[in-house]
Amino acid sequence: MVIRYGFSEKKINYIKVKGLSGYYSVRECKGEHDPLFVKTHTFFDESNHHYLFFISLDVIGIDSTLRYKVKKIIKENVLTDSHKFDLFLFATHTHSGPSGMINTNKKIKSGLTGIFGDYDSYMEEHLILLITESIVLSKYKMKTFNYSISKTNIHKVATNRHQPSKKIDQIMTVFEIITDTSKTAIVNYSCHPTVLSSSNYLISADFLSGFYEKMNESFDLVSFINGSSANISTRFTREKQSFSQSRFFSNSLYGQFIREKEYLKEKETLERISFVEKSIRLKTKDVSNISKREEQISIEELKWKLKEENSVEESRLIEVEIEGKRATIKMKDTLNDISSIKVPFWIGLLDSQLIVFIPGEITSNLTEKLRSKYQALIFSLTNDYLFYFAEKDLYKTDMYEAQSSFFKVGEAEKLINKIEEHIKSFTCYNMLC
């Protein structure tokens, strides 16, 4: 079996960006601090006529509408009928990227316009063009390659964003792909790239920008795929929300990778690519008892509390509570008349390395079993954005991740159990059990 590899990147045109999303409410875009990219890694299994496209975008989220349209173009205009393919679109989750990425025309996402803005069909067309061009360019560069996998235990960049002492996934995994003329990397790390605040009006990949810059000293292309980051951020590690602080974390990530990485595999030949798509139907929250008026009154009371003399940590926790109240109001708008949602997920193998793909933000606690028991990598914010997947304990304490979830308490655990069930059959089918 021969598997070839190619790569490409395209810059997102900031002139086409109308607003910035990620914080309530959508902000005006006043220019570009650093560029955003579409980055493509293409693998081609010659024996099975099978393409694998890993495409990372510096945006807040990916909607299934975008993926559907890209898949259609690939089928009709890029590949021949004899070729099969798997397409994975990943959002880095910068909160200083274009609004309009989430299709709020869909009933289930209609309440999310305050954070994400109205769906932008012009941005969609621009991204479809960039993705298609990037795929075509990557196919022209196909070469044989070797790969390495390293892990780095990252310190003092991110914590649990509610209780900083709680255990989180701190491992940064890097796939290095080496041909005779190039060296690229796919970086998987769990953290909200949100050093910059809602007072920023400039386009930015946040701390990923400086990280890309430093990594590009050694690599021809570096892309980022987020992990179990729903409850992980720089809230308690940053001293300020500025570009200089963002750069500090960029340098820290790069420095720790250079100094402390440990290779699990070095310069091996990739011999197996295998992926499967599954789904589960999860029950949604009962929102009938939510009073939007009472939640809004609570928000106003918390805003007054913010004006009092608080420590930095106290202020940040009040801000989180406000965000949670807003999320509760959004759920009232969104989930009326919707009792369940079909949730897709994907399981993949690159040789023996297991990867689980989640269409939204998922907490570190939820994926701990998959990561420890199966050494699975978690690729989140993949192919769609179904908001948050949170564990039962976060519902008990009414934490933001639970308030921002479409799903009833306990449903996220059902998702994990279903994934584990399919992992067992999938890995046995691929003779790894």
Check pLDDT > 90 for residue 330.
no
Res 432 pLDDT > 70: no
pLDDT greater than 90 at residue 325: no
Estimate to the nearest angstrom the gap between the alpha carbon of 392 and the chain centroid: 22
Residue 305 vs residues 282, 298, 321, 325, 433: alpha-carbon distances, Å? 37, 11, 11, 15, 55
* pTM (two decimals): 0.94
Distance CA 319, CA 316 (A): 5
Helix 121-140 vs helix 64-73: angle between axes, to the nearest 10 degrees?
A: 50
Q: Write the pLDDT tens digit of every residue in 381-403.
A: 999 999 999 999 999 988 889 98
Q: Which of 368, 105, 48 is nearest to 231 (CA)?
A: 368
Name the nearest CA neighbour of 416 among 151, 163, 228.
Answer: 228
Q: Is the pLDDT of residue 268 over 90?
A: yes
Peptide bond into 372 cis (omega under 30): no
Collapse the DSSP code of 179 into the 3-class scheme (helix H, G, I; strand E, B; otherwise coil) and give the result.
coil
**What does pLDDT average to over the chain?**
93
> In the sheet that 221-226 helps form, which strands lie side by side, from edge to edge?
221-226, 183-189, 171-178, 146-153, 262-268
> Range with the lowest mean pLDDT among 161-175, 266-280, 292-306, 354-368?
292-306
170 near 154, Cβ under 8 Å?
A: yes
- Residue 317: per-residue pLDDT: 75
Strand-pair category, 27-28 with 19-21 = antiparallel
Q: Which residue, 124, 125, 136, is CA-closest to 8?
A: 136
Look at the block and give the residue holding tokens 């940040």. Answer: 316
For the cut 90, the answer to whether the pLDDT of residue 376 exceeds it is yes
Distance of CA 273 to the CA centre of its chain: 22
Q: How many Cα atoms occupy the beta-carbon half-sphere of 222 within 13 Å?
A: 18
pLDDT band of residue 433 (cuts 50, 70, 90) is low
What pLDDT digit, counting tens, does each position of 23-80 carry? 988 999 999 999 999 999 999 999 999 999 999 999 999 999 999 999 999 999 999 8
Q: What is the pLDDT of residues 210-236, one digit of tens each?
A: 999 999 999 999 999 999 999 999 999
